[in-house]
DNA sequence: GAACACCGCTATTTACATCA
DNA sequence: ATGATGTAAATAGCGGTGTT
């Protein structure tokens, strides 16, 4: 087995997993038992009917011209009907069987190439997704930190308000925001018109204060 | 439905070319 | 010169399909 084919083992699994509908004919479905192929015996030669080395050598390696014409035909149509096979064979001075074998091998090479292309495409997409995941995770961390800060702010404000109201019961009519720093946690979620108050919008035109929001959503 | 031929596919072998 | 390695051609075995 070549190194290229070894490299394809994982890609195949990956692609099959991601596109089961596309590659069902390529790889066995999950749960499907792939029969172990019976191992082929080596033909050590010397049998009756075996060709001489010279005859075998003569058959080897098609000429560039033959390959060019075969490639041209393959480019037009990957499948080979018997009529076209016979015509090509006579044009090229080859056995129809050789033409069929050439197309068979060419299809296998083409398929391998396609799989490699598909694999590198999926790999690129996967890398992008991983980067995006990292970005979102750090965003989550950042937001959690912001939330923690907001909690502290709310806690501080609550304590100060409690202190003020217990010290001067006459001022129970409302908060005196002059003494309080603007609540930073509203940030980009701040509601127009409520910039100076610790309120959150919870939809349907309802607004609640920070502690209630915390109780609801934390 | 069994037997057969034909075809395509995958895995493997074989022969050759190239390179260190 | 030679062994390792890659590649193309060829083969084996299997399954699917159409025909008789």
Q: Strand A199-201 and strand A207-209: pairing?
A: antiparallel
DSSP count for chain A of H helices, then E strands: 6, 2
pLDDT digits (tens, 9 = 90+) for A40-69: 554 443 333 333 333 444 457 899 999 999
A62 touches strand C (CB under 7 A): yes
Sorted by where each begins, the domain ranges of chain A are: 3-26+62-136, 140-165+180-217
* H or E element at residue A128: helix A96-167
Instruction: Provide, in whole angstroms, the distance separating residue A38's CA from nucleotide C13's C1'.
Output: 7
Contact by Cβ (8 Å): A80, A100: yes
A37 touches strand B (CB under 7 A): yes
Q: Which nucleotides of strand B lie under 7 Å from a protein CB?
A: 6-17
Give the list of residues 6+ apart from residue A26 with CB closer than 8 angstroms, or none: A12, A16, A111, A115
Number of Cβ within a 10 Å radius of residue A106: 17
Domain A3-26+62-136 in CATH: superfamily? Homeodomain-like (1.10.10.60)
A22 touches strand B (CB under 7 A): no
A161: pLDDT confidence band, cut at 50, 70 and 90? confident
Number of Cβ within a 10 Å radius of residue A11: 16
DSSP state for residue A20 in the 8-state scheme: T
Residue A111 phi, psi (nearest 5): -65, -45
d(CA A154, CA A198): 8
pLDDT digits (tens, 9 = 90+) for A83-135: 899 999 999 999 999 999 999 999 999 999 999 898 889 999 999 999 999 99
């Amino acid at each position: 087995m070549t190194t290229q084919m070894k490299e394809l083992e994982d890609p195949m699994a990956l692609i099959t997993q991601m596109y089961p509908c596309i590659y069902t004919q390529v790889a066995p479905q999950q749960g499907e038992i792939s029969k172990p192929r019976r191992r082929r015996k080596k033909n050590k030669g010397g049998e009756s009917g075996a060709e001489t080395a010279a005859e075998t050598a003569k058959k080897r390696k098609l000429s560039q011209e033959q390959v060019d014409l075969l490639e041209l035909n393959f480019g037009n149509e990957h499948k080979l009907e018997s009529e076209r096979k016979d015509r090509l064979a006579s044009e090229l001075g080859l056995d129809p069987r050789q033409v069929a074998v050439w197309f068979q091998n060419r299809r296998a090479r083409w398929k391998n190439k396609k799989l490699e292309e598909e694999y590198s495409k999926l790999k690129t997409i996967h890398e992008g997704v991983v980067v995006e995941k990292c970005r979102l995770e750090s965003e989550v961390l950042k937001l959690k930190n912001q939330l923690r800060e907001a909690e502290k702010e709310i806690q501080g404000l609550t304590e100060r308000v409690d202190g003020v109201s217990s010290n001067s019961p006459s001022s129970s009519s409302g908060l005196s925001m002059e003494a309080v720093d603007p609540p930073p946690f509203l940030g980009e979620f701040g509601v127009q018109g409520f910039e100076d108050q610790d309120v959150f919008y919870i939809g349907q035109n309802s607004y609640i204060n920070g502690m209630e929001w915390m109780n609801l959503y934390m």
